[in-house]
Structure 1
Amino acid sequence: MTASEHAKELLQLAAVAADSKAGEDLVALDVSEPLPFADIFLLVSGNSERNVVAIAGEVEDRLTEAGAKALRREGREQGRWVLLDFGDLVVHVFHQEDRQYYSLERLWRDCPVVPFQLPQPASAEHA
Protein backbone atom coordinates (compact mmCIF):
# COMPACT_ATOMS: atom_id res chain seq x y z
CA MET A 1 0.00 0.00 0.00
CA THR A 2 0.95 3.61 -0.41
CA ALA A 3 -0.43 6.78 1.05
CA SER A 4 -3.71 7.96 -0.47
CA GLU A 5 -3.98 11.13 -2.55
CA HIS A 6 -6.22 12.56 0.16
CA ALA A 7 -3.51 12.00 2.76
CA LYS A 8 -0.95 13.69 0.47
CA GLU A 9 -3.25 16.69 0.02
CA LEU A 10 -3.69 17.00 3.79
CA LEU A 11 0.07 16.64 4.22
CA GLN A 12 0.74 19.53 1.85
CA LEU A 13 -1.66 21.81 3.73
CA ALA A 14 -0.28 20.77 7.12
CA ALA A 15 3.35 21.22 6.06
CA VAL A 16 2.74 24.73 4.77
CA ALA A 17 0.83 25.61 7.95
CA ALA A 18 3.61 24.26 10.19
CA ASP A 19 6.24 26.10 8.16
CA SER A 20 4.30 29.37 8.49
CA LYS A 21 4.68 29.15 12.29
CA ALA A 22 8.42 28.39 12.15
CA GLY A 23 8.08 24.63 12.35
CA GLU A 24 11.46 22.98 11.83
CA ASP A 25 12.80 19.67 10.51
CA LEU A 26 9.56 18.64 8.79
CA VAL A 27 9.56 14.98 7.78
CA ALA A 28 6.63 13.02 6.35
CA LEU A 29 6.63 9.22 6.51
CA ASP A 30 4.35 6.84 4.62
CA VAL A 31 3.14 4.54 7.40
CA SER A 32 0.33 2.97 5.35
CA GLU A 33 2.08 -0.41 5.13
CA PRO A 34 2.62 -1.13 8.85
CA LEU A 35 -0.38 0.81 10.23
CA PRO A 36 -4.04 0.21 9.40
CA PHE A 37 -5.26 3.52 10.85
CA ALA A 38 -3.10 6.16 9.10
CA ASP A 39 -1.32 6.77 5.81
CA ILE A 40 1.15 9.51 6.72
CA PHE A 41 2.89 10.78 9.84
CA LEU A 42 4.11 14.38 9.65
CA LEU A 43 6.83 15.11 12.22
CA VAL A 44 7.56 18.75 13.09
CA SER A 45 9.77 20.39 15.71
CA GLY A 46 9.14 23.61 17.60
CA ASN A 47 11.73 25.48 19.63
CA SER A 48 9.57 26.19 22.69
CA GLU A 49 6.31 25.05 24.26
CA ARG A 50 4.60 28.18 22.94
CA ASN A 51 5.93 27.49 19.42
CA VAL A 52 4.74 23.86 19.55
CA VAL A 53 1.22 24.99 20.51
CA ALA A 54 1.22 27.70 17.80
CA ILE A 55 2.31 25.23 15.12
CA ALA A 56 -0.34 22.69 16.16
CA GLY A 57 -3.02 25.39 16.25
CA GLU A 58 -2.17 26.63 12.76
CA VAL A 59 -2.13 23.10 11.33
CA GLU A 60 -5.51 22.35 12.87
CA ASP A 61 -6.99 25.66 11.68
CA ARG A 62 -5.79 25.21 8.08
CA LEU A 63 -6.97 21.61 7.83
CA THR A 64 -10.33 22.48 9.40
CA GLU A 65 -10.74 25.31 6.85
CA ALA A 66 -10.10 22.72 4.12
CA GLY A 67 -12.87 20.50 5.48
CA ALA A 68 -10.77 18.01 7.44
CA LYS A 69 -11.83 17.15 10.96
CA ALA A 70 -9.47 16.30 13.80
CA LEU A 71 -10.54 12.92 15.14
CA ARG A 72 -8.26 13.26 18.13
CA ARG A 73 -5.85 15.77 19.65
CA GLU A 74 -3.54 15.29 22.59
CA GLY A 75 -0.81 17.15 24.42
CA ARG A 76 -1.72 20.76 23.71
CA GLU A 77 -1.78 21.68 27.41
CA GLN A 78 1.86 20.70 27.98
CA GLY A 79 3.20 21.95 24.65
CA ARG A 80 5.89 19.26 24.48
CA TRP A 81 4.33 16.79 22.02
CA VAL A 82 1.03 17.61 20.36
CA LEU A 83 -0.64 14.86 18.34
CA LEU A 84 -3.32 15.78 15.79
CA ASP A 85 -5.11 12.82 14.21
CA PHE A 86 -6.93 13.59 10.96
CA GLY A 87 -7.45 9.93 10.02
CA ASP A 88 -5.27 9.56 6.94
CA LEU A 89 -2.75 12.06 8.35
CA VAL A 90 -1.37 12.15 11.89
CA VAL A 91 0.67 15.24 12.77
CA HIS A 92 3.22 15.06 15.58
CA VAL A 93 4.48 18.46 16.74
CA PHE A 94 7.36 18.05 19.17
CA HIS A 95 9.50 20.27 21.30
CA GLN A 96 13.00 19.71 19.89
CA GLU A 97 14.18 17.83 23.01
CA ASP A 98 11.18 15.48 23.03
CA ARG A 99 11.58 14.72 19.34
CA GLN A 100 15.16 13.62 19.92
CA TYR A 101 14.14 11.55 22.94
CA TYR A 102 11.25 9.69 21.27
CA SER A 103 13.05 9.45 17.90
CA LEU A 104 10.05 8.45 15.78
CA GLU A 105 12.20 8.67 12.64
CA ARG A 106 14.31 5.82 14.02
CA LEU A 107 11.24 3.82 15.03
CA TRP A 108 9.69 4.18 11.55
CA ARG A 109 12.99 4.15 9.60
CA ASP A 110 11.72 1.47 7.20
CA CYS A 111 8.86 3.69 6.03
CA PRO A 112 9.40 5.76 2.88
CA VAL A 113 9.60 9.55 3.06
CA VAL A 114 6.70 11.39 1.40
CA PRO A 115 7.69 14.56 -0.49
CA PHE A 116 5.91 17.90 -0.06
CA GLN A 117 6.58 21.48 -1.15
CA LEU A 118 7.20 24.44 1.14
CA PRO A 119 7.04 28.05 -0.02
CA GLN A 120 10.43 29.57 -0.75
CA PRO A 121 11.57 32.37 1.58
CA ALA A 122 11.22 35.85 0.10
CA SER A 123 15.01 36.33 0.06
CA ALA A 124 15.46 33.19 -2.10
CA GLU A 125 13.05 34.53 -4.72
CA HIS A 126 15.28 37.55 -5.38
CA ALA A 127 18.57 35.65 -5.42
Structure 2
Amino acid sequence: MIFDVHGLTFVTDFFVICSGFNKRQLQSVANEIELKLHSYGIHWVGIEGYSEARWILMDYGDVVVHLFDRDMRHFYDLELLWGDARKLPWKDNT
Protein backbone atom coordinates (compact mmCIF):
# COMPACT_ATOMS: atom_id res chain seq x y z
CA MET A 1 0.00 0.00 0.00
CA ILE A 2 1.13 3.55 -0.67
CA PHE A 3 -0.11 6.38 1.53
CA ASP A 4 0.24 10.05 0.63
CA VAL A 5 0.91 11.55 4.07
CA HIS A 6 2.04 14.92 2.74
CA GLY A 7 0.45 17.53 4.99
CA LEU A 8 -0.38 14.97 7.69
CA THR A 9 3.18 14.68 9.01
CA PHE A 10 6.37 16.66 8.63
CA VAL A 11 8.49 13.48 8.58
CA THR A 12 7.88 12.35 4.99
CA ASP A 13 5.50 12.62 2.05
CA PHE A 14 4.77 8.95 1.37
CA PHE A 15 4.61 5.69 3.29
CA VAL A 16 4.96 2.40 1.46
CA ILE A 17 3.67 -0.49 3.56
CA CYS A 18 4.06 -4.15 2.65
CA SER A 19 4.35 -7.56 4.25
CA GLY A 20 6.53 -10.60 3.95
CA PHE A 21 6.20 -14.15 5.20
CA ASN A 22 9.54 -14.57 6.96
CA LYS A 23 12.85 -12.96 7.86
CA ARG A 24 14.65 -14.07 4.70
CA GLN A 25 11.90 -12.78 2.43
CA LEU A 26 11.73 -9.39 4.18
CA GLN A 27 15.50 -8.97 4.02
CA SER A 28 15.44 -9.95 0.33
CA VAL A 29 12.76 -7.35 -0.40
CA ALA A 30 14.77 -4.70 1.47
CA ASN A 31 17.90 -5.67 -0.49
CA GLU A 32 16.06 -5.48 -3.80
CA ILE A 33 14.58 -2.07 -2.97
CA GLU A 34 18.03 -0.77 -2.08
CA LEU A 35 19.63 -2.21 -5.25
CA LYS A 36 16.92 -0.85 -7.51
CA LEU A 37 16.91 2.63 -5.98
CA HIS A 38 20.72 2.68 -5.83
CA SER A 39 20.76 2.11 -9.61
CA TYR A 40 18.81 5.40 -9.90
CA GLY A 41 21.20 7.21 -7.56
CA ILE A 42 18.76 7.14 -4.65
CA HIS A 43 20.16 6.14 -1.26
CA TRP A 44 18.51 5.67 2.09
CA VAL A 45 18.87 8.19 4.89
CA GLY A 46 18.62 5.34 7.39
CA ILE A 47 17.44 1.81 7.91
CA GLU A 48 16.19 0.14 11.09
CA GLY A 49 15.21 -3.40 11.97
CA TYR A 50 17.06 -5.22 9.19
CA SER A 51 18.75 -7.77 11.48
CA GLU A 52 15.56 -8.85 13.22
CA ALA A 53 13.47 -8.38 10.05
CA ARG A 54 10.13 -8.18 11.81
CA TRP A 55 9.66 -4.50 10.88
CA ILE A 56 12.24 -3.05 8.52
CA LEU A 57 11.99 0.70 8.12
CA MET A 58 13.83 2.21 5.15
CA ASP A 59 13.96 6.02 5.19
CA TYR A 60 14.53 7.71 1.84
CA GLY A 61 13.54 11.18 3.01
CA ASP A 62 10.40 11.87 0.96
CA VAL A 63 9.46 8.18 1.08
CA VAL A 64 9.55 5.80 4.05
CA VAL A 65 9.20 2.08 3.33
CA HIS A 66 7.78 -0.20 6.03
CA LEU A 67 8.36 -3.95 5.55
CA PHE A 68 6.47 -6.00 8.13
CA ASP A 69 6.03 -9.60 9.07
CA ARG A 70 2.37 -10.50 9.55
CA ASP A 71 2.28 -10.15 13.34
CA MET A 72 4.02 -6.77 13.44
CA ARG A 73 1.85 -5.36 10.65
CA HIS A 74 -1.26 -6.39 12.55
CA PHE A 75 0.09 -5.09 15.88
CA TYR A 76 1.10 -1.63 14.63
CA ASP A 77 -1.77 -1.32 12.11
CA LEU A 78 -0.33 1.68 10.26
CA GLU A 79 -3.22 1.46 7.80
CA LEU A 80 -5.58 2.44 10.61
CA LEU A 81 -3.19 5.01 12.09
CA TRP A 82 -2.82 6.76 8.72
CA GLY A 83 -6.37 6.02 7.58
CA ASP A 84 -7.01 9.68 6.72
CA ALA A 85 -4.19 9.64 4.18
CA ARG A 86 -4.94 9.31 0.49
CA LYS A 87 -4.17 5.82 -0.80
CA LEU A 88 -2.32 5.62 -4.08
CA PRO A 89 -2.55 2.73 -6.52
CA TRP A 90 0.48 0.49 -6.87
CA LYS A 91 1.92 0.48 -10.41
CA ASP A 92 4.29 -2.29 -11.42
CA ASN A 93 6.67 -0.72 -13.92
CA THR A 94 8.99 -3.70 -14.31
Using the size of structure 1 for normalisation, the TM-score is: 0.70
Structure with a larger share of its residues in helix: 1
| CA distance in 1: counterparts of 2:5 and 2:34, whole angstroms | 21
1:107 to 75, 81, 88: 81
SS at match of 1:106: helix
- Kindly indicate whether residue 51 of structure 2 is the aligned counterpart of residue 42 of structure 1: no
The verdict on how the C-alpha distance between 1:36 and 1:118 changes in structure 2, with shifts beyond 3 A counting, is same
Displacement, 1:103?
A: 0.3
| CA distance in 2: counterparts of 1:78 and 1:94, whole angstroms | 11
Structure with a larger share of its residues in strand: 2
**Which residue number in structure 1 is paired with residue 68 of structure 2?**
94
Count how many residue pairs are aligned between Structure 1 and Structure 2. Answer: 94
Q: Which runs of 5+ in 2 are unaligned?
A: none
Q: Between the two proteins, what is the percent identity of the paired residues? A: 34
The alignment yields a C-alpha RMSD, in angstroms, of 1.3
Displacement, 1:59?
A: 0.6
Rg (Cα) greater in structure: 1
Paired residue type of 2:60: F
Displacement, 1:119?
A: 5.8
| CA distance in 2: counterparts of 1:116 and 1:36, whole angstroms | 23
